[in-house]
Structure 1
């Protein structure tokens, strides 16, 4: 995964910088999302692993994408095909999304709780996390009855575990120290 990230990062950054420069972030996000779907298609994935010439592969890929790609998007696909990197498109799309979130100062936060949160609780949690993370927070809430009590909040690398299981685990570690 880290090798794929290393390969995809410069393409994602270049696409993002181009999109920002041309005030076209949303269109690029849509184009990359579509191309990632095409690259993930089983038939296309087999073709990408094959021995087709870069120009032929780029032409085929662009034909499949049709009107979903503008001229800049088509050039992007051609460059990635020339470098044999079309299979990295899904990861490029993910990294582009991360750059977009960073640019917009937004963060997606996953909240898994033992019980469904009320709208007031979601609002208060969002407010607290916005203050702590210094970004606009997009909450994705779900319920896991096996937690018994508490919640697990995940925002990128940050994990806040207030579940009974998490508390017992920390207590166990403290007692063993």
Structure 2
């Protein structure tokens, strides 16, 4: 996985630079999300990997699905990825692009795993608490994970805040073994 990220980073940085200069970060963000979703679709992935289809056919498919999101720069980007056999990197490129965008906006992404759905009030309180802790705006990605039993587990960059029942049980078991 680290190798894919390493190969994807220069593409993401180049796209970010281009989008930033043109003040089109949101448009590029949307186009990259669509492109990443397309290559993760099994049918599209199979079509793109099939040697019976030419690079032009794969490009035409990608651009047809993108529709109006595909301006000249996006078309050139897709063409470059296809020519360099890097189409499968799109999910990593999109992720790296979003990280660069968040960094420029002074925001940080937080993934929150919770055993039960959070109310809007709880989400707001969590955003405020995390914003205060990290000194930056926080964007939440909330996911349900019944394995946690209760509580939440928050991932912000490399930081993990485990306030789940499962995490506390593991910590208790580890301390009892010592």
TM-score, with length taken from structure 1: 0.81
SS at match of 1:154: strand
Q: Which range moved further: 59-68 or 8-17?
A: 59-68
- What is residue 6 of structure 1 aligned with on the other side? 6
Q: Secondary structure at the match of 1:111?
A: strand
Cα–Cα, structure 1 residues 61 and 105, in superposed 2: closer, same or farther, change >3 Å?
same
Match status 1:92 vs 2:67: no
Q: Secondary structure at the match of 1:23?
A: coil
Q: Deviation per CA, 1:112-132: give whole Å up to 9, x if none.
A: 445665655544432221121
- Please report how far the alpha carbon of residue 136 of structure 1 lies from its aligned counterpart in structure 2 after TM superposition: 0.5
**Post-superposition shift, 1:168?**
2.9
The answer on 1:23 being equivalent to 2:40 is no
8 Å contact 1:80–1:86 — kept in the other structure?
yes
Query: 1:125 is paired with a residue of what secondary structure?
Result: helix
Aligned to 2:171: 170
**Partner SS, residue 153 of structure 1:** strand
In structure 1, the gaps of 5 or more residues are: none
Q: In the comparison of the two structures, how many residue pairs are matched?
A: 177
Change (3 A) 1:4 1:62: same
Q: Extract unaligned runs of 5+ from structure 2.
A: none
TM-superposed deviation, 1:70: 0.6
**1:165–1:90 CA distance, 2 compared to 1 (3 A):** closer
Q: Is the 8 A contact 2:27 2:69 kept in 1?
A: no
Query: Which protein shows a greater Rg?
Result: 1
